[in-house]
Amino acid sequence: MGGEICDQEHRGHDLMGYQKAVATVLNFAKRLKRPSESVALELAVGRVLAEEVQLDRDEPPVPRSAMDGFAARSEDGAALRKILGTVFAGTSKIPQLGPQEAVAVMTGGTVPPGADVVIPIEHCVVDGDSVRFENTPVAGRHVRLAGEMGAQGRVLLEPGVVLADADLAAIAGCGFSEVNVFPQPQAIVISTGDEVVDWNSRPTSHQVRDSNRLGSALQLKRAGAHILRHLHVPDEEKALSHAVREALQDVDLIVTIGGVSMGERDFMPTVFKELAVEELFHGVSIQPGKPVWVGRNRDTWVLGLPGNPISSFVTLEAFGLPLVRKLGGVQRPDTARAPESGIAGGPARSKKRERFLPADLSLDVNGQTVVTPRPEHGSGDWTSLAGATALLHLPPKTQLETGQPAQFLRLNSAL
């Protein structure tokens, strides 16, 4: 079926559109079949929830004060009352309130039985063991009713949520010390190219450091994958075939970098075909990243990224991150790459293909998000990614001017 999609899209040298390519990936990808695992809450940030989380009791379990003040009966009006004592947060012995009586209560303390209002301390006049109020009390003010936040059994979180710190704090509030999460997709990253040397090496004038390999591994990790290993293989067909063949036995996702275009030493499409990796598409109508290759062999996905740094980064953000999230059990993986709206902070243009440009996000005086494209130096300019907080997304044949509405993909945890 994947071959049919590819044949239809490439007949007459047509390229698949960006949105259709993303939809194709998400349509074919399924959540991993491996069982969930239990992890400590402290280690679960970024993992995908595999169970329903419910309140284990009413919250709050008893009426509580929302202010420091005095609990009283509203029906007694503002008249002088006798102070019975003080209730702090955590106090377990709570007095019963009668007519013309009041109890000092601190924020979070239990509101005594018989009381239906808390008067803030700044509106109270204390005289020895008595208190009167400046205003007539109104029933219900500053009282958090039992079960107001939720009744026992209320569902707080459903499976498929990418767990953030606030989620885990809420789970801890339900009495959990561990939580069940879906397994992480296991990934291998393979960079190619005879010109490539290790990133901690000093390259000669005809060499480049292998920063793509590190960057791609970290992108995948950010999306929720576990990187089993990453390695470099020279532009030799047999060596590349051996590396991919070995990886197909171990992992859920193989990401290769370079060798997917039409050059004399672009061996990857041939290697994939020889190893029975089913091609879903080869080539997408985007700039940069047009030669991207996507396919699968049984339960293992293969992404062949172009070798230029911006191209590999863009294609992994566009196709790899939603794929990792879908494999990892995220409920709505498409939202990982949903474009956001802002206004352009500078001009940019596209020709026949959709275009993605590294950009910076800021806020203007009206609180609108401004997305400003960085200076262009081609898809090989890895320096333009340093500090970038977005990818400006241009539809085909667009001339964007400063101040016009613009769409962007947010990177990392940008504002």
One domain, residues 93 and 191: no
Q: Are residues 296 and 200 in the same domain?
A: yes
Stretch 43-72: mean pLDDT:
98
Amino acid at 192: T
Same domain, 200 and 164: no
User: What is the pTM for the complete model shown?
Assistant: 0.87
Shared domain check, 174 and 42: yes
Give the per-residue pLDDT at 154: 98
Residue 32 near residue 182 (C-beta atoms within 8 A): yes
pLDDT, position 1: 38
Same-domain pairing of 158 and 85:
no
pLDDT of residue 213: 95
CATH of the domain at 166: 3.90.105.10
Q: Are 192 and 257 in contact (CB under 8 A)?
A: yes
Same domain for 332 and 349?
no
User: Smallest Cα–Cα separation from 404: which of 359, 344, 360, 361?
Assistant: 344
Spatial separation of the C-alpha atoms in residues 161 and 312, rounded to whole Å: 27
Residue 367 clears pLDDT 70, i.e. is over it: yes
Q: Are strands 186-192 and 253-257 parallel, antiparallel or unpaired?
A: parallel
pLDDT of residue 399 exceeding 80, the answer is yes
Task: Enumerate the β-bridge partners of residue 157.
Answer: 53
Helical H runs in 102-229?
Answer: 165-173, 211-223
Q: What is the pLDDT of residues 53-64, one digit of tens each?
A: 999 999 999 999
**CATH classification of the domain holding 321:** 3.40.980.10
Q: H helices within 253-308, ranges in order?
A: 268-274
> Which residue range(s) make up the domain with 68?
64-144
Summarised one tens digit per residue, pLDDT across range 135-145 is 999 999 999 99
The structure tokens listed for 399 are 């001339």
Q: Check whether residue 305 and residue 234 sit in a common domain.
A: yes
Residues 228 and 103 in one domain: no
Same domain, 327 and 203: yes
Per the domain annotation, does 415 fall within a domain?
Answer: no
| Tokens of residue 86, six digits | 């003080």
Smallest Cα–Cα separation from 250: which of 234, 227, 273?
227
Residues 323 and 237 placed together within one structural domain of the fold: yes
Amino acid at 177: S
**Domain end residue (candidates: 163, 181, 199):** 181
Among the three residues 293, 319, 336, which one is the final residue of a domain in this structure?
336
The answer to whether 358 touches 384, Cβ cutoff 8 Å, is yes
* Residue 248 sits in the same domain as residue 293: yes
CATH number at residue 356: 2.40.340.10
| End-of-domain residue from the set 304, 336, 368 | 336
Q: Are residues 250 and 207 in the same domain?
A: yes
What is the count of structural domains for the chain?
4
Do residues 252 and 186 make contact, with C-beta atoms less than 8 angstroms apart?
Answer: yes
